[in-house]
Amino acid sequence: MTIKEVSEKYGITQDTLRYYERVGMIPTVSRTAGGIRNYNETDLSWVELAICMRSAGLPVEAMIEYVKLYQMGDSTFAARLQLLQAQREILLEQKKQVEATIDRLNYKIARYQLAVETGKLSWDKE
């Protein structure tokens, strides 16, 4: 699969794909004889993982660390486990924050819906 196809498949620019590879967020992608990227199944699953992590807001650095451990082989299982657990903790916290903010927005939205109807905002600040 060419870089163009991959970029279209995942809705991410080719520049970003090259960037991910360059900084080590995914392992080096396989190439054609001419040196052109030719993503195989494994490459794609790394890309997918990277996109998943990034779109949840996890730092690039964490993925780089994970890839490094992966490349060091079976002796890093425990370290990888620890890394994944730490990232999960961050996300659980993040989820809480997002939910709290959604609640807050819901409250404000309800008040503004009333305000738009009546022309007056009920008792308040901000």
Partner DNA sequence: TCTTGACTTCGAGCGTACTCCAAGTATTAC
Partner DNA sequence: GTAATACTTGGAGTACGCTCGAAGTCAAGA
- φ/ψ (deg, to 5) at 97: -60, -45
Query: Distance between CA 82 and CA 118 in Å, rounded?
Result: 54
Give the integer Cα–Cα distance in Å for 74 and 64: 17
Closer CB to DNA, residue 14 or residue 111? 14
93 near DNA (CB under 7 A): no
| Phi, psi at 37, each rounded to 5° | -55, 135
Number of residues that bind DNA (CB under 7 A): 20
User: Is the distance from CB of 27 to CB of 47 less than 8 angstroms?
Assistant: no
Is 34 a binder of DNA (CB under 7 A)?
yes
Return the range that interacts with a second copy (CB under 8 A); candidates 1-9, 10-18, 30-38, 55-63: 55-63
28 binding a second copy? (CB under 8 A): no
Out of a second copy, DNA, none, which partner does residue 3 contact, by CB within 5 to 8 A per kind? DNA
**Can residue 4 be called a binding residue for DNA (CB under 7 A)?**
yes
